[in-house]
Amino acid sequence: MKSRLKGAAAASVLLMWMGIPAAFAGSVTQPGETAGIAVGAPLPEGLHFLNTADRGRRNSTPTSCLGITIPIASWSTPRTLLGARVQFFTVTPVIETGVSNTSYQASFFNPALFGAVAYGFTDLTSPIATYLKQSLFAVGGLSGYGFGPLSLQVFATTEEYERNYGSRDTRGWFRLVVPLWKPAAQSPLITKG
């Protein structure tokens, strides 16, 4: 019985090992995607439409371009779970990519905001022996404006340092936040004492 189990375990490991294809991994998000927003902060209660779009060009040979837009519909409920706001999101990203000479596939306290943007990214581990760790550091400027409940941000960045990306990237970003619904303000409770 023990030898049968050992044989079955060995065969399973061998089959799994033979069936594992090479993995090619990269960043889940575009470096710099969350610059200018409070990452992890809950949206105010209500329905929201958010969109982050960017387009950039890497000056490699051949020149490559990448455009990404990430439209998000969100419902930030009045409920909390363990002290955290319960939120629901639906996301449908669109990616456009191409190489030169080929076809392409494809709320502020002050309403005005101007400032500097900088972000960095580095791989902490090498998951396989042949993996080359990537890292970059980019700087740029950000301009934004709050149109009542609507907010708009535009910023541009350029990489000052990159390792294992092939060349430096210059990228333009656009972010729009549109609240679709929010609850009516609660009337204060007045009692006679």
In a domain, residue 189? The reply is no
CA nearest neighbour of 91 among 134, 51, 34, 45 = 51
In a domain, residue 86? The reply is yes
The string of DSSP letters for 46-111 reads EEEEEEEEEEEEE-SSS-EEEEEEEEEEEEEEEEEETTEEEEEEEE--EEEEEETTS--B---SSS
Top pLDDT among 13 and 97 is at: 97
Instruction: Read off the pLDDT of each residue in 95-103 and give the average, rounded to a whole number.
Output: 70
Question: Residue 184: is its pLDDT beyond 50?
Answer: yes
Q: How far apart are CA 93 and CA 79, in angstroms?
A: 27
Q: How far apart are CA 99 and CA 25, in angstroms?
A: 21
In a domain, residue 186? The reply is no
Q: How far apart are CA 156 and CA 36, in angstroms?
A: 12
In a domain, residue 188? The reply is no
Query: How many separate domains does the chain show?
Result: 1
The torsion angle over the Cα atoms of residues 158, 39, 74 and 95, rounded to 10 degrees, is 30
The percentage of the chain sitting over the pLDDT mark of 90, rounded to a whole number, equals: 7
In a domain, residue 191? The reply is no
Domain residues for the domain of 157 are 2-181
Average of per-residue pLDDT values in the chain: 76
**pLDDT tens track for 101-141:** 666 555 344 566 677 778 888 888 888 888 889 999 998 88
Using alpha carbons only, give the angle 135, 136, 140 rounded to the nearest 5 degrees. Answer: 165
- Residue 162 confidence (pLDDT): 93
Q: How far apart are CA 115 and CA 152, in angstroms?
A: 14
In a domain, residue 63? The reply is yes
Pull the structure tokens for residue 190.
């007045």
**pLDDT tens track for 54-76:** 888 888 777 778 788 878 888 88
- Residue 80 confidence (pLDDT): 87
- Residue 160 confidence (pLDDT): 92
